Structure 1
Amino acid sequence: MHAETSPDGPEHHPEWGPFGVPLFDGPEAQSLQRVGVIDIGSNSVRMVIFDGAARSPAYFFNEKILCGLGAGFAETRRLNPEGKIRALAALRRFARLAKAAEVSPLLAVATAAVRDAEDGQEFRDRVLAEAGLDIHVIDGAEEARLSAQGVLLGWPGAHGLICDIGGSSMELAELKGSGKVGQRATSDLGPLKLMGITGGKKALRAHIKAELAELTKGFPEEPGRLFLVGGSWRAIARIDMERRGYPLKVLHEYRMTPKGILDTIKYIGKTDLEELRARTGTSAERMRLVPLAAEVLRVLVRKLHPKEIAVSSYGIREGLLYEQMSPALKARDPLIEAARHSEAQSARMPGFGRKLYRFVEPLFPRAKHDKKRLIRAACLLHDVSWRAHPDYRAEVCFDNATRANLGGMTHAERVYLGLALLHRYKSSRTGTGFNAELLKLLPEDQVREAEILGRAMRFGAMFAVANPIDHGTLVYRPKRKELILTLHSDEGRDLFGEVAQARFKALAAAMGVEPIVVGAA
């Protein structure tokens, strides 16, 4: 039996805590294994196969071909002939791969290029005949809704505006903060269509300004956050990272200020595109769209005045996965569900992470929900990298946390989680290959707290391999600067051997308190 779930999330469960009973192994989640999505866009054709058992999407397969179906559309109103040939070849391959991987369901959707082209239906008929794929063409409003749902997959309860740019269109959607998608609108502001605007830069900017004035009618002014979805936005974000010397090369949840992004747009205008392409690893096909996308983003930021801009790697494809989820699964924390799934798959003793969390929880009496979820995630993940070579285990743990394809975490939270897991296996960061520049993303007090969490997990995992709270409990008295371990039985006293004693003292030293043991022989 699963705990009942309210619209605000799972109820507090006496055994499993505020995050509820895991759903990843329930029938509703198991039915999402091997969900396939084929996204036929104006610039790219991509197939993703999700291992959807966890609330945070795992990419079993992910392949993209930049076919440019929408190239030249402004002049011909038809799909690019070369692009059709490449797209058909890719779709035949994808259909065979999906069959071999036993994908079910396999969803094929097409957006602006196929939707608007005179030969769009002809192309769909040919795909059905040659690849056996029945393509569902979605309109602009549906494209905006699915993109917004993709953002909700990574940010449950997100609020603000999402802006999804494709090759031939651009969509806006409102996120109301309650898991609901509000107003939606679409435009022709995709870079491939903007290539057809004549009259030079002045005419281009006037066109963009007029289109955006129409597109943004009725949307909230000055949204708190603008979520950017789409390959051209991600390419601009990579350039922003390069310009700033940003140390964590993870695009999802990357944050920018309006001033920062406008500075990057100026930087793009005065820097050689081939040089930028080489430095950021961007494809030539994508880079040629960047200057036009940057012009759109410049006007958009000045028009909307968002307080913050965030990059989402999740869009239509993830929105289609989200669509398949039950309300109970949608309400779950993606980080916690993914961590539970990882523990069940890879830990030596699945289920121990929950017990470890209860053991170390008293050390963080003032932790609010956002911090408790990080502590719980760390405890769930504390042992999933145990197969790594001992000399590199701490480094692997850090890299897995900071670079994993996980939703529901800011970059600062990634570094916090990574540091905690590093110190689960190693007392010092010296010799781990740790990039000290990453510490700039985390306040100093949080760096110290993550280290304390790591040392606490290191002690708890060594003290007892089953359920440490059965043998001893921790009490933290910050005013007295004391850390008290109370041993409950002869078994607890036997378990508190020399190595456990050393790790308990190391934990107390990191906290700056006196270690006290009660009940020792």
Structure 2
Amino acid sequence: MNGVRTTSGETVAPFGPTFRKLPKRALRRVGVVDVGSNSIRLVVFDGAARSPAYFYNEKIMAGLGQDMARTGRLNPQGINRALSALRRFAALARSMGIEPLTCVATAAVREAEDGPAFQQQVERETGLKLHVIDGPEEARLSAQGVLLGWPEAHGLVCDIGGNSMELAELQGGKVGRRATSPLGPFRLQQVPEAALKGHIDAILADLLAAMGRDHKRFYLVGGSWRAIARLDMERRNYPMTVLHEYRMTPEDVLATVEWIGQHDLAALRARTGISTSRMDLVPLAGRVLSRLVRVFQPRELNVSSYGIREGLLYEHMSRDLRRRDPLLEAARFTEKQMARLPGFGKKLYHFLLPLFPDMPPERERLVRAACLLHDTAWRAHPDYRAEACFDNVTRANLAALSHPERVFLGVALLHRYKNSRAKSPMAPLFQLLDKSRLREAEILGKAMRFGAMFAIDDPSDAGLLVHVPGKRIELKLTGTGRDLMGEVARSRFRSLAEAMGVEAVIS
């Protein structure tokens, strides 16, 4: 086939098991170096938790694979920059007590004539051992990174690097068919303009034969895809610039690629903060993406900030840990680290549960997460706690959370500290929710606003909430609750009832 290698099955042996056998001490803090064709990045995860906590993150655009399609060798300037970065990363890892530091190299090093020599030079000068992985294994690890963020992901992962593009199928929490291709922008720079469309289409035809067309959702991994998504946000005046779980339709992609071609790249870079080296690759990456959506015809494209590095972290996880909800794991961790009374969020959730009968699972997890996070901004100045809560949750590194769900949590937490959201500086983001969802978030926030101050220990010991839909909410007080039901508590209870459009009854 035209430049395509494929494989099927769930896992590949050469790399994964080696990584899993790291000593238990290393699991507390996991360091990964990703040596790509364009960038080299060190990421240190604070333990193999279900929701990744980034203890340290540094990237350099080395350009190892630049001109390799023409010369067959790694870029000399890129080698110098890469060695300098790797020496620094090795020193940083030693200072953080991370040994061994796991280093993965992808398309440029595996395909260059001097790739083996570069491997030896890296080990000799830095002490780091590069694990050079093949295309299907690169696809598998990228797909695992997507699973880290989307446990229920179902569709096709598309990971673009400087010299290659990998595809991997996700279904039922497992990685299936995989394919690798030479559709990286560095390689395409060597193809004459007149032959470029035919060259891309021929490779995509082989990928389509290998992977099939029946993939309704694409998960886009890689810096070039993220840059295009950021430009799509700019074109649409999208109010939130969090790239993870940003969603585009095929029509969005085609319109944005055309829009990019009509604008000066330097001006776009200034507006979005995209680096010069990344922006230089965007036009070719856009050509690939526009042809990709025309050939495979997905219904939706989701941007993933998680890729190979997170896929390596996923290697550590037991089956039980992989099944846990990343959002709730992150919320529990945040509560433990930042709340005044860790553990109160669970009690608050159970106290408020009668207000939200027959919740679907996708709503229940948001209510639970909000209760866990309800007090994590208490150190902020009282005048700014509402906005701090909103900002924290909408911009936090949280997985398994769509943009509308981020805003839902943000609005709920805003109302935890503030009765009204009028004239809020966060108002532009409210448009991601319809009126009914905004009202639901407000009710949840005002319920937490009441419950969190009604009792400091366990509100269920002070009273029982009874909800008669459309008519009333009743608070049945215990002896303890009668003493706690002061003027402020009564006011907040009435505010909750008003938001629900029902009568407030205290008995």
Shift of 1:222: 3.7
**Alpha-carbon RMSD:** 1.3
Matches of 1:106 and 1:429, distance apart in 2: 47
Task: State the TM-score, normalized to the length of structure 1.
Answer: 0.91
DSSP 3-state at the match of 1:75: helix
Q: Which residue matches 1:296?
A: 288
User: 2:179–2:210: 8 Å Cα contact kept in structure 1?
Assistant: no
Q: 2:249 aligns with which of 257, 262, 271?
A: 257
Taking every aligned residue pair, what percent have the same amino acid on both sides?
Answer: 63
Residues 1:155 and 2:150 aligned together? yes
Q: 1:59 aligns with which of 54, 63, 66?
A: 54
User: 2:48–2:313: 8 Å Cα contact kept in structure 1?
Assistant: no
Matches of 2:296 and 2:232, distance apart in 1: 20
Residues 1:367 and 2:362 aligned together? no
User: 1:460–1:468: 8 Å Cα contact kept in structure 2?
Assistant: yes
Correspondence 1:188-337 to 2 at 5 A: 188-198=182-192, 200=193, 202-337=194-329
Instruction: Out of 361-370 and 390-399, give the one that drifted further.
Output: 361-370
Q: Residue deviations 1:289-322, cap 9 Å, x none?
A: 0000000001100001101010000000000001
User: 2:404–2:433: 8 Å Cα contact kept in structure 1?
Assistant: yes
Shift of 1:353: 0.3
**Aligned residue type for 2:499:** A
Residues 1:468 and 2:463 aligned together? no
Q: Which residue matches 1:79?
A: 74
Q: 1:133 aligns with which of 128, 132, 142?
A: 128
Correspondence 1:357-396 to 2 at 5 A: 357-396=349-388
CA gap of 1:279–1:503, structure 2 versus 1, over 3 A, is same
Shift of 1:53: 5.0
User: 1:54–1:341: 8 Å Cα contact kept in structure 2?
Assistant: no
User: 1:347–1:384: 8 Å Cα contact kept in structure 2?
Assistant: yes
Matches of 2:480 and 2:380, distance apart in 1: 31
Residues 1:514 and 2:506 aligned together? no
DSSP 3-state at the match of 1:216: helix
Q: Which residue matches 1:121?
A: 116
DSSP 3-state at the match of 1:217: helix
DSSP 3-state at the match of 2:473: strand
DSSP 3-state at the match of 1:458: helix
Shift of 1:217: 1.6
Structure 1's unaligned 5+ residue stretches are 1-27
Correspondence 1:83-122 to 2 at 5 A: 83-122=78-117
**Aligned residue type for 1:457:** M
**Aligned residue type for 2:429:** L
Q: Which residue matches 2:442?
A: 451
Q: Which residue matches 1:49?
A: 44
CA gap of 1:187–1:97, structure 2 versus 1, over 3 A, is same
Q: Which residue matches 1:484?
A: 474
User: 2:351–2:465: 8 Å Cα contact kept in structure 1?
Assistant: yes
Shift of 1:275: 1.1
User: 1:34–1:104: 8 Å Cα contact kept in structure 2?
Assistant: no
Shift of 1:366: 2.9
**Aligned residue type for 1:458:** R
Matches of 1:30 and 1:354, distance apart in 2: 31
DSSP 3-state at the match of 1:218: helix
CA gap of 1:31–1:75, structure 2 versus 1, over 3 A, is closer
User: 1:29–1:53: 8 Å Cα contact kept in structure 2?
Assistant: no
**Aligned residue type for 2:251:** K
Q: Which residue matches 2:176?
A: 182
User: 1:224–1:307: 8 Å Cα contact kept in structure 2?
Assistant: yes
Q: Which residue matches 1:409?
A: 401
**Aligned residue type for 1:227:** Y
Matches of 2:361 and 2:27, distance apart in 1: 28
Matches of 2:24 and 2:458, distance apart in 1: 28
CA gap of 1:29–1:411, structure 2 versus 1, over 3 A, is farther
Matches of 1:439 and 1:492, distance apart in 2: 36
Shift of 1:224: 1.4
DSSP 3-state at the match of 1:516: strand
DSSP 3-state at the match of 1:466: coil
Matches of 2:425 and 2:257, distance apart in 1: 33
CA gap of 1:130–1:274, structure 2 versus 1, over 3 A, is same
User: 1:29–1:325: 8 Å Cα contact kept in structure 2?
Assistant: no
Q: Residue deviations 1:230-277, cap 9 Å, x none?
A: 000000000000000000110000000111110001111111111111
Residues 1:356 and 2:321 aligned together? no
Matches of 1:348 and 1:29, distance apart in 2: 31
Q: Which residue matches 2:19?
A: none
Number of equivalenced pairs: 485
Shift of 1:58: 1.1
Matches of 2:399 and 2:319, distance apart in 1: 18
Matches of 2:99 and 2:90, distance apart in 1: 12
Matches of 2:97 and 2:341, distance apart in 1: 30
**Aligned residue type for 1:129:** R
Matches of 2:28 and 2:283, distance apart in 1: 39
Structure 2's unaligned 5+ residue stretches are 1-22
Matches of 2:358 and 2:430, distance apart in 1: 23
CA gap of 1:165–1:134, structure 2 versus 1, over 3 A, is same
Q: Which residue matches 1:15?
A: none
Matches of 2:369 and 2:215, distance apart in 1: 31
User: 1:222–1:307: 8 Å Cα contact kept in structure 2?
Assistant: no
Matches of 1:103 and 1:504, distance apart in 2: 51
DSSP 3-state at the match of 1:36: strand
Q: Which residue matches 1:25?
A: none
Matches of 1:52 and 1:337, distance apart in 2: 13
Instruction: Out of 29-38 and 447-456, give the one that drifted further.
Output: 29-38
Q: Residue deviations 1:117-170, cap 9 Å, x none?
A: 011111111110111100000000000000000000000021000100000000
**Aligned residue type for 1:477:** V
Matches of 1:355 and 1:30, distance apart in 2: 34
Q: Residue deviations 1:361-389, cap 9 Å, x none?
A: 11111311110000000000001111111
